[in-house]
Structures are given as structure tokens and as C-alpha cells.
Chains A and B, each alone.
Chain A
Amino acid sequence: MASDEQQQTTPKRHKLSHSDVTKLALRSLLNQSAFNYELMQGDGYALSLIPALKKIYGDDQKGLSEAIKANTAFINTNNYAAPLLLGLEASLEENGAPRSTIDGLRIALFGPLAGIGDSITWFTILPIVAGIAASFAKQGSLIGPIIFLAVYIALFFARIPICHLGYSVGTKSISSIRANSGIVSHAASVLGCTVIGGLIATYVTMNVKLKIPVTATHSIALQKEFLDHIFPNILPLGYTFLLYWLIKKKHVSPLWLIIITFIVALVCSWLGVL
């Protein structure tokens, strides 16, 4: 069948033990260790995975390096959802799922998981726990901070079952993924690209502040009355494509893109454009 052609001669992958997955869960603490605006949690996410990937790839140095590099890509998710993704990804890696499938799934999942995770941890648990704890603390009672700390230490260790859950979901779904790997990776790319489109609209923000005077008393706000009427977020989309074009066609290094972006931001701020 078509799937057999995909298998080629990939070097043997090694299995993770139960405690390896637990370790991976605890290492999810490093998810934000190298946080930056370009890749968000990317490098930290890869750092969390490194011991697991090392074991999975064994002597396959090239595969290991490719896997680590792929995992440094942009990711920004909720820190309690990260172990789920890490577990899922580890099981896909050890079962030899194609790179494009793994990357497509990770990119497709981190956004929705961030949404679910944030609404549970930041907008539900935190206000409730903080509210209860603060009411004790305001009366000068030590019970307040103790409750608060206890809840969050428990939540930290909840990362372990969350990571195992991701791992077992991956192991179960891998056989059906592999039978149709070409088609699945195509479908994953469709999902991934759709979500990236959504990410551009929500994460990249550019608001033009300029107003063009039409008459002495009336002026047009460039953003609200002009750009937003053509298409909302048209500037972020345009700027992202400009950068894409610079990387792909002009082979400009990402570092230069960052520097250019900085200069644009400071100049626009000084001129009052943005």
C-alpha cells in the first residue's frame, strides 16, 4: 500500500519508560525558560523535550538534531496544556510519525489548548482561589496564603497525569495515523495553515493612529474609518507576508527581520504613526 512507501529506512526509535514520561511532565516547567516575542515558548519547549528525544533517537544524530530544531518553532500555549502536547508529541516521535505530521499537529493544537487552558487556569481557578485566599488574608489570617500555595503546588503536580494522558492518546492514534500518513500530513497542514492564519489575526497587532484632515473640522481616522473598512487586521497580514517574502525569496536572516521590526516600531512610535 501507499503507506509502505513512506516507511523507507528510518533508523529504529527507542521507547520511553513510564518514568521518562513523568520526567518529561516535570520538565515542562522549562517551557518558558527562553521566552521571547519571536518564538514565544519555542526554545523552552524544545529544551523540555531534549532528554526524551535523546532517548528516542539514540544513535540517530541527524534525526535528533532535526527533531530538536523543528521543536524550537513558534509555540505559545497554556503552561498546564504544554505537558499534554509534550506527551502526545513524545509518543508520535517514538512511533516514527512523519515530521510534517508531528509539526502540523503541534501547531494546530497549541492555540486551542492555550484557549482552553487559559480559561480554566487563569479565568476560573485563579479568581476563585485568589478570592477565597484573599478574604482570609485581609483579616490577617495565614490560612489565606497557605490555601493558595497548596492549590498551586497540587496543580503543578497535575502536570504528571496530564502528560501521561497526552502520551497514551498519541500511542493509540498512531496506528491509524501511520496507515494514512501522506493523507494525514496533508490534512494536518490544512489544519496548521488555517490556525496560523487565525494566529496572525490575533497575535500580531498594528494600529495606525494617524488622522487625515479632510476639512477644518472633520478628519478621517486612518485605522477605524479606512483600513478597518477594507479588511480588519490587513496590516498584520501584509507585514507577515512581507517578512515571509523576505525570508523565502530574499533569504534575509530572522535576526535582521527582528532588528527591522524594532526600528519600524520605534520610528512609528516617535512619528506617532502607530
Chain B
Amino acid sequence: MSISLAQGIWISVFAIIAGIDFWLEGFYIFRPIIVCTVVGAILGNLKLGLVAGGLTELVFAGLTPVGGTQPPNPVMAGIMTVVLAYTTGHSPATAIGLSLPFSILTQYIILFYYSAFSVFAKKFNEYAEKLELNKFRNLAYGLTLLVGLTYGVLSFLCVYAAQKPMSNFVNSFPGWLSHGFTIAGGILPAVGFAILLQTMLKGRYVPYLLLGFTAACFIKFGNLMPVAVIGGCLAAIEYYQAVRTRKIKNELKEIRENQNDGGDSDGI
């Protein structure tokens, strides 16, 4: 079955909303179970949407955007699974596989945005400096909207205008280019940390930085909890040490003052 222009537009409008929701991780309407259901309803085959949604959701349950990584895009996977099952007559399970090039393409574009938006960090800083807070807000809203519109345009192209060329384009991506984006994504946090260290790091804190680094290297654990506990212990040790030093200093001062007093009274 083919898709009408109106259906293509409605899917695109929904893609914008779901795309923004995925960007902000707000209400989780970006998950395949919701996306597939809505797209199925738009195409007039709610049952297909529900079944595809259940299947795709289970496939994506393990693929989570945790720790800055970006799994295949769940919004586009949801849309294309239903659309391909609807237009080609394949089963939803097969359509999940066919939808993969589209969700990977979307993934690359989002990866590109993650990297490219680093450029605006300086602009945000400038607006904060000059207290141009409306511009600060509008820039953030603008970036979010840009992401949403990208979802809209992409899904319109994939769903209605150019299904075949799109999948060919994805498959023709040179390997080194997409791999290069992945590498850049892995290294770019270093820029953020370097900026943090610029304000925080003093000579006497370098040992702690290295301790934290070493701990994270050798303690294999899903998150940074062990490092944070070690850091907390070090901070507590430093804290009590400093409190004690202050107390000793004050006592020394008192003793010295008493000595002076004593000296005076003895002298008389």
C-alpha cells in the first residue's frame, strides 16, 4: 500500500514532536511503543502499529542513550518499521531490520549535531557575560527546534518523498567519515574537562585528579560511584585535618597571648 501526502505530513509533524521529546528526554513519547502506535493510527492500521511497537520496543529496550552514547535512533526506527511493514507488506519483525539504515542515518545526524553544537558554547558564555538572557534562551530553543525540524524533514523524505535514494545514500557513506565522527564524539568531552580544570585545578589538587583517574581505570563498575566514594573519603580526611589544624593554630595563638600576659604580670 502507498502513503498519501497527507499521511506523510502528519507523520512528519509527529516526528518533530517525538524528536524534540527525545532530545530533551521529557515524556518518553519517543520510544518505539508510542511512535509505532501513533504512526499506525495515522496510516489507518492501528493494529499493525501496536504489534510493530511491541516488537520494536523490546529490540530497543537494551539500547539506551546512557553516558553520552547514541544508539540507533528509536524515533526513526519506530516510524520506518511501521511504514515499511505497511508499504512493502513485510512482517513487522522483518521491517525492523529494514528500518535500521534509516535509524542509523538519523543517529549520524544527531551525532553531528552533538559535535557541531559545541561551537555555540562560546556564544552562550558571551550571552551570560552580557546578561542577554533572552538571547541565551532563544539560542537553546533554536537548537532544540532545529533538531525537531530535522526529524520532520528526514521522516518526510524517508516516508513519502524518497525512500529508495535515502537508503542508498546511507549505505554509500564512506566508512572512515562516519567512524571519524564517532571518534570525535569520544574525544570531545576532553575539551569540557580541560575548561573545568582551568578554573579548578591547583598544584595541590593534581594528586587527587590522578587518584580519581587511576581508581576509575582499575575499578570496573558501571558508574562512577566508587570514585565518588573515594573522593568523598579523601575530602573528609582533608576536612578533619584542616579543622584540626585550625584548632591547633588557635590554641597556639592563645598560648602565645597567655605567655605575653604572664610575662607582664611576672615583670611587675
Contacts and interface: CB of A to CB of B under 8 A. Distances in A.
Interface of A: 2, 29-40, 42-44, 46-47, 50, 54, 61, 64-65, 68-69, 72-74, 76, 79, 103-104, 107-108, 111-112, 114-116, 118-119, 122-123, 126-127, 130-131, 133-142, 144-145, 148-149, 152-153, 155-156, 180, 183-184, 186-206, 231-233, 236-237, 239-241, 243-244, 246-248, 253-255, 257-258, 261-262, 264-266, 268-270, 272, 274
B50 interface: yes
B90 interface: no
Consensus secondary structure, chain B interface: helix
A231 B222 CA distance: 20
B187 A197 contact: no
A190 B55 contact: no
B33 A111 contact: no
B33 A130 contact: yes
14 contacts: A29-B26, A34-B117, A34-B143, A74-B193, A111-B227, A118-B223, A134-B61, A137-B50, A138-B55, A195-B227, A195-B228, A197-B227, A204-B189, A258-B188
Contacts of A265: 180-181, 183-184, 187
A233 B231 contact: no
Given A37-B185, A258-B115, 14 more contacts: A30-B140, A40-B189, A65-B128, A114-B223, A138-B54, A148-B33, A149-B29, A180-B239, A193-B201, A204-B187, A232-B217, A236-B190, A239-B190, A254-B121
A108 to B, nearest CB: 6
B42 to A, nearest CB: 14
A148 B125 CA distance: 39
B164 interface: no
B5 interface: no
Interface stretch (B80-88, B96-104, B205-213, B259-267): B205-213
Contact of B227 (A76, A145, A198, A258): A198
Nearest to A74: B192
B93 to A, nearest CB: 11
Contacts of B177: 266, 269
B66 interface: yes
Given A30-B24, A42-B121, A72-B124, A191 B189 contact: no
A162 to B, nearest CB: 15
Contacts of B117: 34-37
B118 interface: yes
B44 interface: no
B187 A264 contact: yes
Contacts of A201: 212-213, 216-217
B50 A144 contact: yes
B89 interface: no
A262 B47 contact: no
Contacts of A112: 223-225, 228
Interface string B122-149: 1011001111010011011101100000
Most B Cβ at <10 Å: residue of A116, A239, A265: A265
A202 to B, nearest CB: 5
B216 A197 contact: yes
A61 B128 CA distance: 11
Contacts of A2: 246
Contacts of A202: 67, 216, 224
A111 B128 contact: no
Contact of A233 (B128, B217, B224): B217
B234 interface: yes
Given A72-B128, A232-B217, A134 B191 contact: no
A186 B216 contact: no
